[in-house]
Amino acid sequence: MNYKIIRFQEHGDPRGQLVALEENKEIPFKIKRVYFMYDTLKDVVRGHHAHKSLEQILFCVHGSCKIHLDDGTETAEVMLDKPYEGLYIANNLWREMYDFSEDAVLLVLASELYDESDYIRDYDDFLKFIGKKK
């Protein structure tokens, strides 16, 4: 499945920690958009969609949350709870974000501007799009 957890370098010193992210270096694409979510209510599940071409890296910069991934054949569950770890998600992967801690801040770097036509919001349509269902 086309995802990976990337550990980014922490620049720690007696003052604390700093993580730097530069496009085409630490981040394997040109960053066209950044968004973040917070104040997510307990038991909420976000996502429920795939992207036709968008690539993203997700960071839980505070608190924790889990990500469910599905490529139509396999599934994976990833826990994000370290601000220096990013989850790279390629296109054509179904994703759901859940188990947000009360203090969770999920920051996302995206390879494209917001485009609703890039979303596949129905699971059967996703399976058809990737050729796993007729």
Establish whether 48 is a catalytic residue. no
Q: Listing from the earlier edge strand, what are the strands of the sheet with 94-98?
A: 75-80, 65-70, 94-98, 46-51, 119-120
Is residue 35 a contact residue for ligand T46 (CB under 6 A)? yes
Are the C-beta atoms of 63 and 102 separated by less than 8 Å? yes
29 CB neighbour count, 10 Å cutoff: 16
Is residue 40 a contact residue for ligand T46 (CB under 6 A)? no
Contact segment (CB under 6 A) with ligand T46 among 10-18, 20-28, 32-40, 74-82 equals: 32-40
Can you give the binding site for ligand T46, defined by CB under 6 A? 33, 35, 37, 46-47, 56, 58, 95, 97, 108, 114
Which residues are known to be catalytic?
49
